[in-house]
Structure 1
Amino acid sequence: MAALALACGLALPSAATPASSPAPVETLVEQAMAHYRLPGIAVGVIEDGRIVQVVTRGEQAAGLGPPVDADTLFKIASNTKAMTGAVLARLVQAGTLRWEDPVTKHLPGFRMYDPWVTANLQVRDLLIHNSGLGLGAGDLMLWPEPNRFSRQDILAGLAHLKPVGSFRADYAYDNLLYVVAGEVAAAAAGKPYATLVREEIFQPLGLTRCQVGQWSAAAVGNIARPHYRQGARNIAVDADPDTVADFPSAAAGGVRCSINDMLRWMQVLLDPAQAPGWLDAAQRRALWTAHMPMPVGQRLRDWDNTHFHAYGYGWRLSDMDGQWKVAHTGTLSGMYSSLALLPDRRTGVVILINGEGEAARTALMQALLKRYTAPQEAGDVLHYAGLLEREAAQRRSAGQVRPVLAPPVVVTPAQVGADAGVWSDPWFGRVTLCPGEGGMLWVSDKSPAMRARLVQSGGRRWLQWLALGEDAEAWLEFSGAGTQRRMQLRAIDPDIDFSYDFQDLEFRRLGDCP
C-alpha cells in the first residue's frame, strides 16, 4: 500500500519523530485538543493502582460552556459492554444463571434466523461476537437516535437477519446480541437491566455520577453534549430533555459516566482489594479470557508488535510490546471513548471526548500507553496523527473513499413511476417513497432521522439524507418484477460506519402512497 501511494506521487504528511523521553500527559492532551479541534475532553491515568493524572480541557458545549471537569458526564458508548458483562458475571457468581445456559432458557421466545443457532446459542455467546451475523447486523434498529424501535422489535428482528458466516466460526462485531444479554440478565434476576447495573455496579463500587436507564438530567447536571463537525466548527447536538428516557440499546452502549467514575471502575478492575468480594477470581478470569479469536490488523502489528487479539466478555484482549492489554472503545452520537488497562502493571488510561474524535482517541491513547510499554519508542500525538493521516492517504490512493459525484438532480415522481409507494423490510419495518418537497422523499416509519430526498447523478439514484451526513448516503436500487420487485440500499462511501447496515435491508412493495 505504501509503495502504491508513493508511486502515485502523493504528498504524504510527515510523522514527527518519537521523542527520546515521553511527553507529559498534559502536553499530549493539549496536542490532541489543538490538532483535532475537539470541543472537550477528559483524560485519566492510573499507575500501580493509584490515580496519578486527571486532565480536562474544553467545554461541555462548544462556545457555550461551562468547562469540562472531572465530574462531567460523557456517553461511554460501547465501553458499556464491559459493564453488561460484569452484571452477568455477578449473576453467575450468585447462581442466578450460568454462562452455558441456552438463551431460550431465560427468553423462551428468542429466535435467530437459523433454528439450530436458536437452540444452541448460550448466554456466553451473546457477548463475544461469534453468532454468524454480519458486522453491525441490524444496527439500524439502534441508531441513528432517537428512534421508535423497542427491545421487543429488536428481539423479533433478529429472526429475520440472515447470517453471513457459521456460528462460532468467525468474529464479527455486533450490538444487538448485547441488547439480548441485557434482557437475559433482566429475565433471570427479575429486574430491569438499568436497575441491575445500578445495584450490581454503580452502588457497590461507588460510581456516584454514572447514569443508565431513565434519569433526570435536570437534577444531575454537568453533562457534556455530543458534537458534529461542520467545516472547522464543532456544532453541539440538542441538549438532553429534563428527563432522559431509557432506550433499547442501553446494554450495548447506554451508560454515561464522568472521568472520576471511570477511574474508580478501572481501579476495581485492576485491584480486587479495592472492592473485596464484589467479583471472585473465577468471574474476573472469565471476563478477561480470550473467548473468541480476532484478526490482528496491520496497524496492531506495526504499532504494538501484537501477536494475539481476542474478545472476552465485553473486552478486547491483546499483547502490546510484550505486555498484556485489556481495552475497548466506544462511539455513539458524536461522542468517543477509549479505555485501556495493562493489568500486570495495575496501570490504565481512559479518554472521554464529546466530539468527532476517532483519530484523536487513537493517537492520544497510543501516545499515553507507549509511555509504559515502550517508552524509548513513544511518540507524541502528532507522531501518531501523522501515521493515521498516512494511512488515510494510502486508502485514497487505492480508491477506498467516497467517489466524487456530479451535482445531484432531484428525481421527479414521474421518473419513479410504479416504484413509488409503501415498502417494508421484515426487521426494519415500513418506509415510504412518495412525492414531497418538490421531489420524492424516502421516509422511515420507525427511524425519523432516516428521511431522504431522492436524487440522481451520473445515471444513478441515491438518497440524500436530510438529517444525516453525506458519509451515510446510499444508492437506491430496484430489481425484479411483479411480486418479486425489491428495493435495496447500497452504501456510497466504502468506509461508511458499519452501523449503517444497508446491506441487510430488502424491501418489498406493499402498496401505493397514502
Structure 2
Amino acid sequence: MSVRLSRRSALFASGGAAALASRPAWAQTPANDDAGLAETVDAFVRQCMAAWPEQPALGIAVVRDGRPVLARGYGVKRQGRADRADEHTLFAIASNTKNVTAAALAILVDEGKVKWDEPIKTYLPNFRLADPYITEHATVRDALSHRAGFGLGAGDLLFWPNSDRTRAEVIQQAAFVPIENGFRAEYDYCNLMFVVAGAVIEAVSGQTWEDLIQTRILDRVGMTETVPLARLAEPARSALPHGRVGPPLRYQGAMVPIADSIVEVWNWDQAAAAGGVCTTPTDWAKWMTLRLKEGVLPDGSRLFSEAAAREMLRPNIIVGSSPGPTAELPGRAIASTYAMGFQVQDYRGERLISHGGGSPGGISATVLLPGRNVGFSIFSNAEESLLLRALRSGIADICLGKTGFDWIADSKRLEAEGTQKSLAAAVEIDAKQKAGTRPSLPLDRYVGTWRDPWYGDIVVSRRGRGLWLDFTHTPALKGQLEPYDGETFRTRFPDKREEDAFITFALRDGRPETATMKGVSPDIDFSYDYQDLRLTRV
C-alpha cells in the first residue's frame, strides 16, 4: 500500500511530526486504577468515533492484572439502522486468529504430538513447495513465522476473495506458488503457510481445525460467544461489514455497507487457520487474560505450558528496524520481530506484543503489554486503517501513562495526505486509458484459456462487442475486460467490493502467448496477489 496502512498490517504505528501541537483532552485523566483506565480509554474511543463520523461500529476490550477493565461496543452494527453494537457483538477478527492457531499447536506440542522444529513433511508426507530444499526443511515454526521464503501475500488468490477450492486443494496448489526470497532470510506476511499449519493440526489431532479450536480452546477458556467463521449463522449478532467501494477506486468514496452477513464477503473455509475466528469484546478479553497469564485458565489449570507460552513469543524473524524513537516519532521501534502468531517489538521502552487483522469490511488489533500486565483489543466493522492506527497507539499510551502526542490529529493528517495521493493516482489511471493506444490485434486474438501454475485457469471470452475475463475458481472476479494501452487491458468487475487488475499480453510471432497481471489501485490489499500470476495460453 502507499501511504494507506494495509488492513492486515501487523506493524504498530509510529508517530509523525504534526502530532505534537497539544496534549489531547483524554490524556488529562489519571489511569492508575481500573475505573480511571476504563474512563480514559472510553473517552478516547469516543473522540476517535467523533473524528471518524462515518465509522459504523467499534468493539473495545481492556484487561489488566487478570481482570476485564472494559468491554464495550460503540456505534451501530449496520449503517442506517438503529441496532447498536455492544460487548456481545460479533466481529470478524481475521488474522488475529493466527495466535489461536499457534496456541492449538502449542497444546499438541505439550502432548508430544508435534515439535516446533520438526519438518512439516513429518506430519504431512505429501507436503510440497516449489523449492525442494524448503520442502524438506520447512518446520512448524517456519509455518507460523512468515519466513518460508514466500513474498507478501503469496498464494492468497487461492482463497481470497471467496473461492471454490477445498483446503486440500489449497495445500496441493501451494507446490506451485512462486518463492521469492531465501529460506528464513526475511519476513513477508504469508497466510498460505498458516493454512499449512492448520493442516498439521488436523493431521495430528484427527479433528478438523474448527472442532479442535472449539473443544480444546474455546470451551476450556469459556469463550461461549466466539465462533469459527464457517459456523457463523446469525447476522443479527454481528457487526456487519462496511467499506468504501468508489468511485473512482476501492477504498475511495463514501462509506457504505458491503454485505448483510460476514460470510457473504468472507467465507474462509479453506483458510480458517489463518483468519477464521469471529469473537466479541467480552470473549476476547478472556483470551488476552489467558495470554498474559501464559496459559493459566481461570480454574488454575493450564491450556498450554509456561514453556510453550514463552516459546510462542520468542522472536523468529526480524520484521524491521530503525534508529529508535524520537520526539517526532515516539512510537518507532528499534526492532520489530515476528514470533509465532504474534509480533514482538519495543514500544516507548517496553515490550509490546501485537497483531492486526483485516477482512473485507473489517479490521482488528490485539495489543499486550506484559510488563504492565495489561492488554487491549480493537474490533471494527469498516476498513478505516488510520482510525485503527490512532486507537492502537492512543490506547497503548494511555495504558503506559504517556501523554503529549495527539494520535488522532496525526492519523487524520496521514489520512488526508493518503487520500489526496490516491485520488490523484485514480485520475492518472483514467487519463492514461483515454490516451492509450489501441491493441495491436483484433479482440478475438486475445480470447482463450490462460493458465497459471498455481492459480489455475483464467478465461478470456467475447461478450457482446468486447471481452470478458473469468477467474474460474473465484466467483467475484468475473467482468468486462477493456483495452487500456496497447497490449494492456483492465478489468471492470461488476462487484465493486473487489479489486480490478491490469492484464498485459506478450506477443510471439504476432500471437498472444503469455500474460502477466497487476492491481489497478495503488491502495490494493496485498491479498490480491495478481502480480504473482504467470499466464500461458492453453
Both structures adopt the same fold (TM-score exceeding 0.5): yes
Q: Is the 8 A contact 1:270 1:343 kept in 2?
A: yes
Change (3 A) 1:185 1:392: same
Give the TM-score taking structure 1 as reference length: 0.88
Q: Distance in 2 between matches of 1:35 and 1:212?
A: 33
Q: Is the 8 A contact 1:13 1:386 kept in 2?
A: no
Partner of 2:111: 94
> Which of 330, 341, 344 is the equivalent residue of 2:357?
330
Partner of 1:349: 376
Change (3 A) 1:400 1:308: farther
1:425-444: CA deviations, max 9, x gaps? 12111121111254211011
In structure 2, what residue type is equivalent to 1:101?
A: E
CA-CA distance at 1:389 after TM superposition: 3.1
Change (3 A) 1:173 1:237: same
Q: How does 1:240-279 map to 2 (within 5 A)?
A: 247-272=269-294, 273-275=296-298, 276-279=301-304
1:358-400: CA deviations, max 9, x gaps? 1111111111111133523342x52232342376379679x98
Q: Is the 8 A contact 2:105 2:201 kept in 1?
A: yes
Verify: 1:149 aligned to 2:165, yes or no. yes
Give the TM-score taking structure 2 as reference length: 0.85
CA-CA distance at 1:303 after TM superposition: 3.4
In structure 1, what residue type is equivalent to 2:414?
A: L
Q: Distance in 1 between matches of 2:323 and 2:216?
A: 38
Verify: 1:62 aligned to 2:79, yes or no. yes
Verify: 1:125 aligned to 2:125, yes or no. no
Q: Is the 8 A contact 2:90 2:280 kept in 1?
A: yes
Q: How does 1:342-421 map to 2 (within 5 A)?
A: 342-373=369-400, 375-379=402-406, 381-389=407-415, 392=418, 403-406=428-431, 415-421=442-448
Q: How many residues matched?
A: 495
Q: Distance in 2 between matches of 1:468 and 1:141?
A: 20
> Which of 143, 157, 168 is the equivalent residue of 1:140?
157
Q: Which SS does the other structure have where 1:377 is aligned?
A: coil
Partner of 1:158: 174
Verify: 1:43 aligned to 2:60, yes or no. yes
CA-CA distance at 1:232 after TM superposition: 2.9
Q: How does 1:313-328 map to 2 (within 5 A)?
A: 313-328=340-355
Q: How does 1:190-229 map to 2 (within 5 A)?
A: 190-212=206-228, 214-215=230-231, 217-218=233-234, 221-229=236-244
CA-CA distance at 1:456 after TM superposition: 3.1
1:224-277: CA deviations, max 9, x gaps? 2111225334224132679x9771110000100011011110011112444432
Q: Distance in 2 between matches of 1:171 and 1:407?
A: 35
In structure 2, what residue type is equivalent to 1:355?
A: A
CA-CA distance at 1:175 after TM superposition: 0.2
> Which of 67, 82, 94 is the equivalent residue of 1:77?
94
> Which of 17, 20, 35 is the equivalent residue of 2:21?
17
CA-CA distance at 1:135 after TM superposition: 0.6
Q: Is the 8 A contact 2:230 2:263 kept in 1?
A: no
In structure 2, what residue type is equivalent to 1:98?
A: K
Q: Distance in 1 between matches of 2:521 and 2:267?
A: 33
CA-CA distance at 1:353 after TM superposition: 0.4
Change (3 A) 1:403 1:42: same
Q: Is the 8 A contact 1:487 1:508 kept in 2?
A: yes
Q: Is the 8 A contact 1:370 1:377 kept in 2?
A: no
In structure 2, what residue type is equivalent to 1:229?
A: R
Change (3 A) 1:245 1:370: closer
In structure 2, what residue type is equivalent to 1:432?
A: V
Q: Distance in 1 between matches of 2:416 and 2:221?
A: 42
Partner of 2:205: 189
Q: Distance in 1 between matches of 2:391 and 2:70?
A: 14
Q: Is the 8 A contact 1:320 1:373 kept in 2?
A: no
Q: Is the 8 A contact 1:225 1:354 kept in 2?
A: yes
Q: Distance in 1 between matches of 2:254 and 2:415?
A: 17
Identity among equivalent pairs (%): 29
CA-CA distance at 1:70 after TM superposition: 0.7
Partner of 1:466: 494
> Which of 172, 181, 190 is the equivalent residue of 1:174?
190
Partner of 1:499: 527
Q: Distance in 1 between matches of 2:45 and 2:320?
A: 30
Q: Distance in 2 between matches of 1:480 and 1:167?
A: 35
Q: Which SS does the other structure have where 1:356 is aligned?
A: coil
Change (3 A) 1:90 1:163: same
Q: Distance in 2 between matches of 1:184 and 1:300?
A: 40
Q: CA RMSD in A?
A: 3.1
Verify: 1:235 aligned to 2:235, yes or no. no
Verify: 1:486 aligned to 2:486, yes or no. no
1:316-357: CA deviations, max 9, x gaps? 000100011000000011111011010111111110001122
CA-CA distance at 1:457 after TM superposition: 4.2
Q: Which SS does the other structure have where 2:302 is aligned?
A: coil
Change (3 A) 1:28 1:187: same
1:181-232: CA deviations, max 9, x gaps? 00001101111111111122101101111111642514x8511211122533
In structure 2, what residue type is equivalent to 1:263?
A: A
Q: Distance in 2 between matches of 1:201 and 1:423?
A: 44
Q: Distance in 1 between matches of 2:323 and 2:418?
A: 14
Q: Distance in 2 between matches of 1:507 and 1:297?
A: 39
Q: Distance in 2 between matches of 1:434 and 1:448?
A: 16
